[in-house]
């Protein structure tokens, strides 16, 4: 069979981490050969949909490497990315894929040794976690569908505008000197991530065929009571509608939200 | 003031000065006596402390010089006369005949394959060979063949001419004559570089008598992938891989005995570099460096030496070298030295010895100094107008110096001085040059 | 130029001598490249960056109608411009070129696993081809360059750079933190090798700077804030308490260095007779040096420590300074005994070696120690000092009586440099000094276009070396300012106006204020101000923003190509 060799995709920023990787090369520091590096100008370029797509294709691990805070060539791109990755991990946790498969680290242009260390540690960690459920001959269909839903969540307005404004809300106060605390924000973010995820799951599931609460509960692996509560909320916000009734069972279908 | 500058010397310093000036719109004449630019850096395998492949980082700059619309590249040429002319210089440049038409030659190399005359290759310090019609190295710029009339069978014995018969572009022209051109420039920048002191006169080291005693530059050519052995480190006497190599520092340098009292500044670190390269080629080999003071003085150099010690196991011995003798059968070498920490005389067998010789200014500097009325110091380096405040100026306004020909220094310093000389030349073109240092 | 819509990719795989070819099976990678979608031609080269290698690319572009080129060799950070130029010369837009870094990221880091390295190289080529196939031609905006420079630091390096730039007919803003120009020159005594007083040299520089109409001097001033890019930097300085904004085309960092005060080492601070070399110079300058009988200088105090996290560099000038000062003391007080306790005598080059010989002939004692066995300093109850050292030249321990111990300490980066590095967004190296674009080939450039460095801010060096570097920085800064225009990268954001809802998220995020709403309330990107970070594209709630040359599709294509045949 042979030992499992993880497939790691690394997104490295041109000014810091890519240069650090170059320095590791110049210094001939060795590390496992599993990583495949994609150069971007700034770690902030990594749209949340990108790691999701990459996981959907079967990557075992994804590393996003940027400059240390304060050193970003584009001022604060790395700090924006930090928020996105945090949101992504919340989202990934809902899909059944291990969120540890996604890691954000800071590596500077003069840290060749550190680059090699991070890559070595991460590769080992992923080796221990095991192959991605989406890789190999029989990818896990359920997790795949969950990731599709997650990708749709991450492409849509609601979550993006919230994450886009996170720093503004938590770091700057408004005219009334009010600021949202990080805990409050994270809690709100968690709720919205979950709600959006369920909605998109339900949407994907009911795209062609309306489904009952029971069927939905099985599909999203939640208790029927919790699903019903979600549906009630979604109805209130015009995200889902009653399609028709079969016998005594109502069947619901998600609505396009604009 | 003429908007043109003459740069003499096509090594990294000359190249940098030319590019800085050309990139700001100044016309540059870059004169190089050899058939190709590149200088010493082209002969190196890797450069310290980054271990960049030397030709890899040099070649793009060489090509930029070649293609730059503002640079007239005059290789295989010499400056014969310099006349001052109201602030400008009128310079006569002699283009030596290559006996190959530069417009027609495509650098295909067919001529070299068939030429019957073999000559020791200067680029490989005689360790490899070339033909009488040759290109000095694979990445030569310009990539054009040159005929060496001293070894060409046609010129010496009036026979052969195979190259002319075979050249697909009809580029060989034995009738070619030297061409003189005259240029008018506001500044001249000298970047003539250095030569290696030949330690044959120091009989105690046996250089040129002992086959396995090499100069450091010869070692560079041996370990270089484009060198005479394709990068295989083997002993010249029997082609076997060496098991123990000893570097002897300061050969001819820092000597009170009448050779050269100054320190060549780069040898401690390049010996470290070569030791690391040797270890990368042959991990089990033992490498020793016999040194007086370990001058790892530049940015990142001490860390580089620490790495050589810790990660590669290069052994550094504080020693006054005594002499070297050769075993006539094995061609191994016995090195005698005074071990400084213990004061004892020790001896040591190695199968290869690398001598790090003094780096000396080119002999031609004397001729150039005469032609241009420049001052040389007692070793033959060009003299700075003021060593502190005007390092790249000379006693002649408008003539600037940079790189090793001004004094011992490494590549980043040569490049900095070259850009510095370019700044001075640029200032002069603006016609408001104050006297430097005042 | 291939006018058809069909993508023709050419792949050029480099051996780089043995750097790549010695580990990666280049012919195998070439053969593999030929099997990839859209690849019409592939070949290997010994040195792709040689003129021969570049000619082969240009010929192949013409012969095989290539409209995308991939070079698998070293890092794009050094060679991308060269290969792009070659493509341009063959009529191909330079943005239709991509690189796979199979050297720094492959052969150099997996030298013991040639099979894995070869597989990795093949995948890297596949990734590069996948992205290249989606690349589009781009046009580069041109920007004007202001013919004015900011020089930060008014020491010998800053003043030299300012004078050179002023003579090149540029306006120079010379900003100095202290109330007077001069830097360390104001504290030094006599210089070597010219034997001038530092104050004389300083006076010459001050006169030249004062009399040059192109130099505007701001003393008691510091840099507070900087924004912009090459040709158009907007720098805010605090000038004697007031804020002023300077518009400049280029910036030169010449902030110098400090001398380490070795607290806790060799009893420094416990006796007024234990001083640094700089403090010794000040004593000599102010004529406060009481005739010492025995001076002992200790080299490598706090330098060349050779340990993890230690100060491991050699400060280059301390041995020369010690010898110079030893000779000075001997000149002032011929009867005084001077000993220099050293590890290696770093008197390099011509003049310094000569000075060392002179000192030895003039009876300065040189005592050599090993880092394993450093000297110790003791203070007697009566205040006299003893230096105990194991002299390796005689293999014995000496106890030297001393009334003045001089500690040769290294130059270190200034505290305020850390702040400056963040303001300008330029890096510091692991030794604390400013980190240049390339240690060998670009010693005075920062990776950021338009900002340069010189003098001891870069690394310890002599005055002559600082002056040479300062001229170099002035030459480099002079290039864009002379040309008056530079082309900027085409890697910029573009907004799909139909999708933009005017939410303003991008406008808030952009660090360069490069996005504004137009009269319809739709966001628009200023191509010149945009630096191409991509944060707006990654954040836009409507996904209305994409990046030229780094679109979602292109980045994804490169990433997913690593995961299997596409």
Query: Considering chain B, what percentage of its residues have pLDDT values greater than 70?
Result: 97
DSSP for C351-408, written as a single string: HHHHHHHHHHHTT-EEEE--TTS--EEEE-TTS-EEEEEEETTTTEEEEEEESEEEE-
User: For chain C, how many helices (H) and strands (E)?
Assistant: 14, 28
pLDDT cut 90: percent of chain B above it = 79
* Chain C partners within 8 Å of B299 (Cβ): 313, 429, 431, 433, 439, 458-459
pLDDT at C551: 96
Element (H, E) at C72: strand C68-73
Q: Average the pLDDT over B94-119 and give the result.
A: 91
C19 interaction partners in chain A (CB closer than 8 Å): none
**Is A28–B52 a contact, with Cβ atoms under 8 angstroms apart?**
no
Give the pTM. 0.83
* Count of positions (residues) in chain C: 566
Residue C464 with chain B: CB contacts under 8 Å: 384, 387-389, 391
pLDDT, residue B435, reads 46
pLDDT at B438 over 50: no
Count Cβ atoms below 10 Å from residue A172 Cβ, excluding itself. Answer: 10
Q: Which long-range contacts (CB under 8 A, 24 or more apart) does B380-385 make?
A: B381/B405, B381/B406, B381/B407, B381/C350, B382/B190, B382/B406, B384/C464, B385/B436, B385/B437
Instruction: Give the up-direction half-sphere exposure of residue B105: CA atoms within 13 A in the CB hemisphere.
Output: 24
What does pLDDT average to over chain B? 92
Start-to-end CA distance of chain A, whole Å, equals 50
Cα(B62)–Cα(B42) distance, integer angstroms: 10
CB C231 within 8 A of CB C483: no
User: Encoding tokens for residue A34?
Assistant: 């599993």
Rounded to an integer, what is the distance from CA C105 to the centroid of its chain?
A: 22
d(C-alpha B76, C-alpha B84), whole Å: 24
Mean pLDDT by 10 residues, chain C (566 residues): 77 91 96 97 91 92 96 91 93 97 96 96 98 96 94 98 97 98 96 89 97 97 93 96 97 98 95 96 93 96 90 96 95 94 95 90 91 95 94 92 96 95 89 91 91 98 97 97 92 95 91 87 90 95 96 97 80
Cα–Cα distance for residue pair C117/C125, rounded to 1 Å:
12
CA-CA distances (angstroms) from residue C301 to B118, C261, C267, C376?
57, 10, 12, 11
CA distance B397 to B377: 18
Q: Residues 6 or more apart from C324 whose CB is under 8 A from it?
A: C190, C192, C355
Answer yes or no: is pLDDT of A237 > 90. Answer: no
In this predicted structure, the answer to whether residue B433 has a pLDDT above a threshold of 60 is no
Q: Contact, A168 vs A138, CB < 8 A? A: no
Say yes or no to pLDDT of B436 above 70: no
Pair type for strands B399-401 and B187-190: parallel
Average pLDDT of span B138-151:
91
* Residue B311 phi, psi dihedral angles, 5° rounding: -85, -30
**pLDDT attached to residue C564:** 83
Q: Measured between CB atoms, which of B52, B388, B434 is closest to C191?
A: B388
Q: Nearest CA of chain A to the CA of B271: how many Å?
A: 18
Query: Which residues of chain B lie closer than 8 angstroms to C169, CB-CB?
Result: 430, 432
Quick one: which of B193, B146, B259, B145 has its CA closest to B44?
Answer: B193
Mean pLDDT of A49-54: 97
Chains that touch B (3 or more CB pairs under 8 A): A, C
Question: Given pLDDT bands bounded at 50, 70 and 90, which one contains residue A112?
Answer: confident
pLDDT of B437: 39
Determine the distance from the C-alpha atom of residue C440 to the mean position of all C-alpha atoms in its chain, rounded to a whole number. 10
For residue C54, the chain B residues in CB contact (below 8 A) are: 63
What is the pLDDT confidence band of residue B99, given thresholds at 50, 70 and 90?
very high
Contact between chains at A22 and C425 (C-beta distance less than 8 A)? no
Task: Tell me which chain A residues have a C-beta less than 8 angstroms from the C-beta of B280.
Answer: 28
Cβ A206 vs Cβ A241: under 8 Å:
no
pLDDT tens digits, B248-304: 999 998 876 666 889 999 999 999 999 999 998 899 999 999 999 999 999 999 999
The whole-number average pLDDT for the span B76-103 is: 94
Q: What is the mean pLDDT of residues B32-59?
A: 90
Q: Residue A173 — very low, low, confident or very high, per pLDDT cuts 50/70/90?
A: low
Alpha-carbon Rg for chain B in angstroms: 23
What's the pLDDT at A256? Answer: 74
Distances (CA, A) of C313 to B302, C32, C564: 5, 46, 46
The answer to whether the CB of A25 falls within 8 A of the CB of C104 is yes
CA distance to partner chain A, nearest, from residue B268 (Å): 19
**Angle between the N-to-C axes of helices A112-129 and A17-26, in degrees from 0 to 180, rounded to the nearest 10:** 100
pLDDT of the residue at C68:
97
Measured between CA atoms, the residue of chain A closest to residue C447 is: A15
Q: Does C444 contact B at CB distance below 8 Å?
A: yes
Smallest CA–CA separation between A41 and chain C, in Å?
Answer: 6
Chain A: touching chains (3 or more CB pairs < 8 Å): B, C
| Residues with Cβ within 8 Å of residue C368, at least 6 apart in sequence | B340, C341, C342, C343, C391, C392, C393
Q: With a CB-CB cutoff of 8 Å, which residues 162-181 of chain C face chain B?
A: 163-164, 167-169
Burial of B350 (0-12, 13-18, 19+ CB in 10 A): buried
B76: alpha, beta or left? (left if phi > 0; alpha if psi -120 to 50): left
In this complex, do C558 and A81 lie within 8 Å of one another by their Cβ atoms? no
């Amino acid at each position: 069979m042979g030992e499992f060799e993880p497939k790691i995709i690394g997104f490295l920023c041109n000014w810091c981490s890519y240069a650090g990787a170059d320095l590791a090369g110049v210094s001939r520091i060795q590390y496992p050969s599993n990583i495949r590096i994609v150069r971007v100008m700034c770690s902030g370029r990594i749209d949340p949909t990108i790691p999701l797509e990459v996981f959907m294709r079967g990557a075992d691990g994804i590393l996003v490497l940027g400059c240390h805070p304060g050193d970003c060539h584009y001022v604060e791109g790395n700090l924006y990315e930090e928020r996105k990755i945090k949101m992504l991990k919340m989202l990934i946790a809902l899909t059944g894929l291990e969120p540890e498969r996604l890691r954000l680290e800071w590596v500077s242009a003069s840290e060749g040794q550190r680059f090699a260390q991070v890559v070595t540690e991460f590769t080992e960690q992923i080796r221990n976690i095991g192959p991605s459920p989406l890789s190999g001959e029989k990818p896990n269909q359920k997790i795949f569908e969950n990731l599709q839903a997650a990708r749709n969540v991450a492409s849509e307005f609601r979550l993006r505008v919230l994450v886009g404004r996170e720093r503004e809300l938590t770091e700057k106060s408004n005219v009334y000197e009010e600021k949202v605390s990080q805990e409050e924000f994270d809690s709100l973010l968690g709720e919205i991530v979950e709600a959006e995820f369920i909605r998109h799951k339900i949407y994907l599931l009911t795209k062609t065929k309306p489904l009952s609460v029971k069927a939905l509960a099985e599909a999203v692996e939640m208790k029927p009571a919790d699903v019903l509560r979600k549906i009630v909320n979604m109805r209130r916000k015009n995200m889902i509608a009653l399609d028709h009734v079969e016998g005594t069972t109502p069947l619901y279908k998600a609505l396009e939200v604009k | 003031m003429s908007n043109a500058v003459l740069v003499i010397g096509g090594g990294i310093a000359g190249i940098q000065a030319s590019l800085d000036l050309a990139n700001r719109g100044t016309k540059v004449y870059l004169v190089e006596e050899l058939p190709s630019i590149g200088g010493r850096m082209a002969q190196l395998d890797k450069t310290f402390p980054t271990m960049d492949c030397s030709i890899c980082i040099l070649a793009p700059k060489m090509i930029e010089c070649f293609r730059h619309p503002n640079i007239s590249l005059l290789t295989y040429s010499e400056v014969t006369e310099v006349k001052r002319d109201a602030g400008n210089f009128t310079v006569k440049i002699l283009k030596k005949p290559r006996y190959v038409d530069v417009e027609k030659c495509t650098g295909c190399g067919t001529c070299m394959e068939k030429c019957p005359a073999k000559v020791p290759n200067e680029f490989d310090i005689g360790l490899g060979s070339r033909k009488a019609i040759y290109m000095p190295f694979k990445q030569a710029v310009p990539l054009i063949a040159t005929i060496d009339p001293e070894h060409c069978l046609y010129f010496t014995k009036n026979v052969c001419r195979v190259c002319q018969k075979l050249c697909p572009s009809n580029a060989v022209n034995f009738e070619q004559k030297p061409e003189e051109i005259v240029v008018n420039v506001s500044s001249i920048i000298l970047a003539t570089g250095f030569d290696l002191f030949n330690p044959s006169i120091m009989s105690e080291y046996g250089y040129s008598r002992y086959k396995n005693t090499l100069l450091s530059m010869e070692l560079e050519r041996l370990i270089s992938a484009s060198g005479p052995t394709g990068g295989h480190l083997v002993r010249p006497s029997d082609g076997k891989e060496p098991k123990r190599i000893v570097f002897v520092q300061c050969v001819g340098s820092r000597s009170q005995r009448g050779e050269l009292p100054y320190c060549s500044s780069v040898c401690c670190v390049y010996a470290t570099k070569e030791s690391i390269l040797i270890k990368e080629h042959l991990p089990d080999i033992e490498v020793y460096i016999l040194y007086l003071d370990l001058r790892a003085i530049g940015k990142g150099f001490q860390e580089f030496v620490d790495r050589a010690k810790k990660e590669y196991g290069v052994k550094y011995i504080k020693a006054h070298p005594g002499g070297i003798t050769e075993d006539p059968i094995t061609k191994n070498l016995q090195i005698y030295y005074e071990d400084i920490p213990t004061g004892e005389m020790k001896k040591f067998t190695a199968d290869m010895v690398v001598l790090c010789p003094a780096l000396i200014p080119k002999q031609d500097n004397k001729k150039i100094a005469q032609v241009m009325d420049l001052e040389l110091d007692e070793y033959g380096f060009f003299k700075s107008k003021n060593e502190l405040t005007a390092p790249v100026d000379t006693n002649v306004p408008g003539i600037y110096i940079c790189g090793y020909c001004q004094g011992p220094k490494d590549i980043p310093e040569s490049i900095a001085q070259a850009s510095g000389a370019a700044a001075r030349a640029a200032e002069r073109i603006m016609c408001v040059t104050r006297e430097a240092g005042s | 130029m291939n006018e058809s819509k069909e993508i023709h990719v050419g792949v050029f795989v480099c051996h780089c001598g043995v750097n790549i070819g010695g580990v990666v099976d280049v012919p195998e990678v070439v053969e593999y490249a030929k099997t990839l979608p859209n690849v019409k031609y592939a070949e290997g080269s010994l040195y792709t960056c040689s003129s021969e290698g570049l000619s082969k690319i240009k010929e192949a572009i013409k012969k095989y109608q290539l409209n995308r080129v991939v070079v698998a060799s070293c890092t794009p950070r050094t060679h991308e411009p060269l290969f792009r130029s070659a493509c341009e010369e063959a009529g191909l837009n330079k943005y239709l070129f991509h690189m796979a870094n199979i050297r720094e990221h492959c052969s150099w880091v997996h030298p013991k696993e040639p099979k894995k390295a070869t597989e990795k190289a093949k995948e890297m080529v596949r990734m590069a081809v996948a992205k290249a196939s989606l690349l589009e031609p781009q046009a580069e905006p041109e920007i004007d360059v202001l013919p004015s420079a900011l020089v930060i630091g008014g020491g010998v390096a800053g003043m030299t750079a300012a004078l050179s730039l002023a003579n090149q007919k540029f306006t120079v803003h010379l900003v100095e933190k202290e109330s007077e120009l001069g830097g360390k020159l104001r504290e030094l005594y006599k210089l070597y090798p010219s034997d001038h007083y530092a104050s004389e040299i300083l006076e010459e520089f001050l006169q030249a700077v004062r009399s040059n109409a192109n130099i505007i001097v701001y003393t008691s001033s510091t840099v507070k804030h900087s924004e912009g890019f090459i040709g158009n930097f907007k720098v805010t300085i605090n000038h004697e308490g007031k804020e002023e904004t300077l518009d400049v085309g280029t910036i030169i960092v010449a902030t110098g260095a400090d001398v380490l005060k070795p607290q806790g080492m060799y009893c420094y601070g416990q006796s007024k007779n234990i001083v640094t070399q700089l403090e010794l110079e000040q004593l000599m300058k102010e004529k406060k040096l009481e005739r010492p009988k025995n001076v002992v200088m200790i080299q490598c105090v706090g330098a060349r420590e050779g340990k993890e996290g230690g100060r491991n560099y050699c400060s280059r000038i301390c041995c020369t300074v010690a010898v110079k000062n030893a000779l000075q003391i001997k000149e002032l007080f011929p009867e005084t005994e001077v000993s220099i306790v050293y590890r290696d005598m770093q008197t390099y080059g011509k003049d310094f070696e000569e000075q060392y010989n002179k000192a030895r002939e003039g009876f300065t004692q040189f005592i050599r120690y090993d880092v394993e066995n450093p000297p110790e300093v003791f203070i007697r109850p009566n205040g006299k000092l003893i230096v105990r050292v194991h002299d390796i030249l005689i293999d014995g321990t000496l106890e030297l009586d001393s009334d003045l111990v001089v500690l040769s300490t290294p130059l270190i980066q200034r505290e305020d440099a850390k702040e400056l590095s963040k303001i300008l967004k330029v890096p510091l190296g692991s030794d604390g000094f400013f980190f240049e674009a390339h240690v060998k080939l670009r010693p005075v450039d920062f990776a950021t276009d338009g900002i340069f460095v010189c003098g001891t801010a870069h690394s310890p060096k002599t005055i002559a070396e600082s002056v040479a570097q300062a001229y170099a920085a002035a030459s480099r800064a002079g290039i864009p300012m002379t040309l008056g225009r530079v082309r900027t990268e085409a890697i910029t954001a573009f907004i799909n106006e139909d999708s933009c809802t005017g939410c303003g998220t991008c406008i808030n995020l952009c660090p360069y204020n490069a996005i504004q709403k137009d009269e319809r309330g739709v966001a628009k990107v200023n191509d010149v101000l945009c630096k191409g970070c991509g944060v707006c594209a990654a954040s836009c709630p409507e996904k209305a923003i994409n990046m030229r040359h780094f679109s979602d599709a292109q980045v994804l294509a490169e990433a997913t190509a690593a995961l299997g045949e596409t």
